[in-house]
Chain A
């Protein structure tokens, strides 16, 4: 079945680095753009970053720009998030999500498949 599974979360000190992975299965990964979304404790969902299906375009939230890098390996059906210079406020559950496009006179986009998330804690 269609599935996304995140991994790589853990506890890291402020200023440290971590790389998250998102393994896709059950669909043609290389056909879809992907996102990372996070949820800090007690907070709402926050969009983090987007990467096109072929990796040609990437966009970031201002809160992570210059510190986080999104990438993908379509041969491995895997999405990555390299997180550097981590801060306490980066503590969150990180979700990957598939970006589906549907044509209904116009093109509509939505996150139709999500992983269950991986937890990142930035603490000394």
Chain B
């Protein structure tokens, strides 16, 4: 099975900051990598698929990159509504494992 790790597990940032989250797969997954945002009490929300393609309706301050085993999610100019937990997930084959999550909190 493919294992997913994320770093950091949590971070504190201010509105307007640039934030980068890293996701690593235990073996190459090409660019079969998705990013989701999850807020307490709400449904998870797809941000990026295919490692770097922005889902329709998602603000352009979100961007993704990487391929193979190493990936990044960047939020430019953090907004108040961006404080949430972010998960990567591979879609290479079953099991479609999620990373452990990165909680972005207000500094």
Contact = CB atoms under 8 A, between A and B. Distances in A.
Interface string B37-75: 010001111100110010100000000000000000000
The size class of the interface chain A forms with chain B is 20 to 34
A108 B95 contact: no
A61 B53 contact: no
Contacts of B36: 45, 111
A46 B99 CA distance: 9
Contacts of A116: 42-43
Contact of B53 (A44, A97, A104): A104
A9 B25 CA distance: 33
Interface residues of B, number: 27
A47 B43 contact: no
A110 B45 CA distance: 11
Interface in A23-77: 35, 37, 39, 44-47, 50, 59, 61-62
Contacts of A46: 98
Given A111-B36, A116-B43, A45 B87 contact: yes
A84 to B, nearest CB: 20
A114 interface: yes
Given A44-B87, A44-B101, A59 B34 contact: no
B14 interface: no
B96 A108 contact: no
Nearest to A101: B91
A108 B49 contact: yes
Interface of B: 30-32, 34, 36, 38, 42-46, 49-50, 53, 55, 85, 87, 89, 91, 94-101
28 contacts: A37-B44, A44-B100, A45-B36, A45-B44, A45-B89, A47-B95, A47-B96, A47-B97, A47-B98, A50-B96, A61-B95, A95-B43, A95-B44, A97-B44, A108-B50, A108-B53, A109-B32, A109-B91, A110-B46, A110-B50, A110-B91, A111-B89, A112-B55, A114-B43, A114-B45, A115-B43, A116-B43, A117-B43
